[in-house]
Amino acid sequence: MSEFAFKARELDSGDELAPKRAEFVLDEVVYLDGNSLGALPVSVPGRVEDVVRRQWGELRIRSWEESGWWTAPERIGDRIAPLVGAEAGQIVVGDSTSVNVFKALVGAVRLAGEGRDEILVDATTFPTDGYIAESAARLTGRTLRPVTPAEVPSALSDRTAAVLLNHVDYRTGRLHDLPGLTSAVHAAGALAVWDLCHSAGALPVGLDEHGVDLAVGCTYKYLNGGPGSPAYLYVRRDLQDRFDSPLPGWNSHAEPFGMRTEYAPAPGALRGRVGTPDILSMLALEAALDVWDGVSIEAVRTKSLALTDFFLECVAEYVPQDRVESLTPAAHEHRGSQVALRCDDAGEVMKRLIDQNVVGDFRHPDILRFGFTPLYVSFTDVERAARVLGEVVAA
Amino acid sequence: MSEFAFKARELDSGDELAPKRAEFVLDEVVYLDGNSLGALPVSVPGRVEDVVRRQWGELRIRSWEESGWWTAPERIGDRIAPLVGAEAGQIVVGDSTSVNVFKALVGAVRLAGEGRDEILVDATTFPTDGYIAESAARLTGRTLRPVTPAEVPSALSDRTAAVLLNHVDYRTGRLHDLPGLTSAVHAAGALAVWDLCHSAGALPVGLDEHGVDLAVGCTYKYLNGGPGSPAYLYVRRDLQDRFDSPLPGWNSHAEPFGMRTEYAPAPGALRGRVGTPDILSMLALEAALDVWDGVSIEAVRTKSLALTDFFLECVAEYVPQDRVESLTPAAHEHRGSQVALRCDDAGEVMKRLIDQNVVGDFRHPDILRFGFTPLYVSFTDVERAARVLGEVVAA
């Protein structure tokens, strides 16, 4: 056994989260793509079967009340809340991340008021945020200005209505300074909207603590909700009464079954709902969240950093230096829960890695992306992934 | 056996769709609420289990290609297309009905061009359409004018950009004149947007034949897709190149995995996609659509009218005339697939009906609503429902 394989075993034996691995369906694959689609929690299939066969098949329409379907968006929002540092009553689940970005950004612009005519958007963001931000700007008559997160402080002005930022860069894995940037945005009198897709479930977010105004995130990455599981919207409690959604569907009405012609928004987080929630996907997510019982997000962060540290060590040991270059910041305070390696033939290398049962993903044009989900990735996985990577690039 | 029970048996024995009933999970309940939530098709539970356990649990991220997840929105759209009279390539599935109303109506206003500043909306519509139309008007700087469908022809002018109408009124069950109203809208140079929630799967729609511009619909009523299953958007082929979605998420990009900063819309119906599709709900819907194999929508319509005719006959026989009054048009050309009965104590009556295993729904303030899904409701069901209604109101 190599020195690193031995060290991996030691690290696994000291890992307080190691028992969580048994709560997921895993096999011989080293699965480092949980930042794209989280693995299946063991609790999900049985729950989904019950939802389909009994709740839908037998109770049918009665399940809207009796099986708690109607209140699922806010109930599941409250399950996600502690994972992102939010008190209950501020998150609703539903719709895709893109749709929630639209709600959040138009809502933020309206909260900022008429005098502010510019939206700043993270120029390095996952593309959908930029496209939707452009649409939000066009529909609200604002100007959209793409800037890097580092440029945000100097770009802010009394023209700024809202700033849309990613907590963790989806390509490089860089963790942006949510507390500092949010403060800077507030100092300029603007609203901060954060996209948590690549941070929620992997590290502490502290939405309430840092006074974030609005936030969105998906649930199929580190929250393991399943393919395309519904996203969520956070609206800080003291903004909820003034939150003016551009998608005021009947589910967000104060009296949804009153069937009123006039729209009157519900109080609280419910105002972020739109149409009928997609119950199958939503209740699969609810079951998936059971894996967080008894888990502290601080412990997750500690393990996440240990995993990425160890992966970088193993890569330095196993992979020739001229073949890959890490784009992920070395400093812990700037690192998410993934490692991105630049590699000239990344597409081909990732194919061979997958053939060897090491699954990460390839991001155009030259990035090998490896996500580390602390609830189920072991240090033994990490050592094996780096070792196989070394073999593949040497071949 | 009463005369009507005998007649029910005769009608059932002559019903060519009767064998379809075995493709649904049904029990001793007379289920007349399929216009709210369709019954569970027998094919769904096994398919969902495969999606969860094998496609997600074992193949994980590979399923986006190998299990056809990525192309599900347009593939399932093409399954729905013949049911609403559309050629393939014009429908995508995804998001809620409310979100699709927003895409369709903003898209329609943009297609109409700058000179037209008014949107007409069906004043009798399901509320969410009105709320979303108001938001669409506000965000595009248009005026919203609620009118009844009958008032549409006289309300149209060269100011009209778009008209949002319901094909079947969700309360009364009145079927509106889609061909005639669409023609009138076109004659005024405006675009017609139809909401098919209460008609798709129950009667012929003829989207292509009648030149409808855009349409939306849910899939959990007569299409039996499951609770909150994804809705769909139809954009007529010759409008697709100019369709300009207000929700241009990455899934609608011409090159979604190119991760480009600049948005470039995909050609065709794909342009109506937004974010990552919710696969569990979507593939449950796909399985549910198997029940349509070999079914002609004309046969469905014939049975639907026979069911509602027979229900009205039985009600006339079993229920004292002073207790209920039908709000559903007697003329076939104005009737959808439901019967709405006005009844002073409708809330209480519906509770007792449900206690007696006859499930319809109550619509505030005084409506008993019964939906007739031709694929699984029998004439024997109809006779029993009317008979129990008669007993309940007499008690």
Render pLDDT for B191-229 as a digit per residue (tens, 0 to 9): 999 999 999 999 999 999 999 999 999 999 999 999 999
pLDDT per residue as tens digits for the range A31-75: 999 999 999 999 999 999 999 999 999 999 999 999 999 999 999
Q: Which amino acid is at B199?
A: S
A70 near B CB under 8 A: no
Whether residues B49 and A49 touch (CB distance < 8 A) is answered with yes
Task: Tell me the pLDDT tens digit for each residue of B126-141.
Answer: 788 999 999 999 999 9
Partner A contacted by B98 (CB < 8 A): yes
List of chain A residues whose C-beta atoms are within 8 Å of the C-beta of residue B245: 135
Spatial distance between the Cα atoms of A15 and A373, rounded to a whole number of angstroms: 13
**Residue ranges of domains in chain B:** 3-17+295-394, 47-292
- B260 CB neighbour count, 10 Å cutoff: 16
Distance CA(B381)–CA(B363), nearest Å, equals 22
Extract the tokens encoding B46.
């096994």
Single out the residue of B303, B311, B314, B307 nearest to residue B3, CA to CA.
B314
Q: To the nearest whole number, what is the mean pLDDT of chain B?
A: 97
A364 contacts chain B (CB < 8 A): yes
Question: How many beta carbons lie within 10 A of that of residue B42, not counting itself?
Answer: 17
User: Residue B93's pLDDT band (boundaries 50, 70, 90)?
Assistant: very high
Q: What is the pLDDT of residue A215?
A: 98
Tabulate helix, strand, coil % of chain A (nearest 5): 45, 15, 40
pLDDT digits 0-9 by tens, B180-192: 999 999 999 999 9
CATH number of B47-292: 3.40.640.10
Q: Do domains A3-17+295-394 and A47-292 have the same CATH topology?
A: no
B265 touches chain A (CB under 8 A): no
Are the CB atoms for B107 and B214 separated by under 8 Å?
Answer: yes
pLDDT value, residue A165: 97
Question: Catalytic pick from A220, A310, A311, A318?
Answer: A220
Q: How far apart are CA B127 and CA B164, in angstroms?
A: 12
- Reported as a single tens digit per residue, the pLDDT across B55-90 is 999 999 999 999 999 999 999 999 999 999 999 999
Omega of the bond leading into B365 within 30 degrees of 0 (cis): yes
B218 neighbors A276 (Cβ within 8 angstroms)? yes
Cβ neighbours of A257 in B, within 8 Å: 364
For position B395, what pLDDT does the model report? 85
CATH architecture of A3-17+295-394: Alpha-Beta Complex (3.90)
Residue B244 φ then ψ, to 5° = -125, 90
Q: Cβ of A131 and B57 within 8 Å?
A: no
How confident is residue B366, by pLDDT bands cut at 50, 70 and 90? Answer: very high
Q: What is the mean pLDDT of residues A133-137?
A: 98
Task: State the ipTM, two decimals.
Answer: 0.97
How many angstroms away from the CA of A177 is the closest CA of chain B?
22
Position B257 pLDDT exceeds 90: no
Higher pLDDT, B261 or B247: B247
Which helix H or strand E contains B306, and what residues bound it?
A: helix B297-318
Specify the pLDDT at position B215: 98
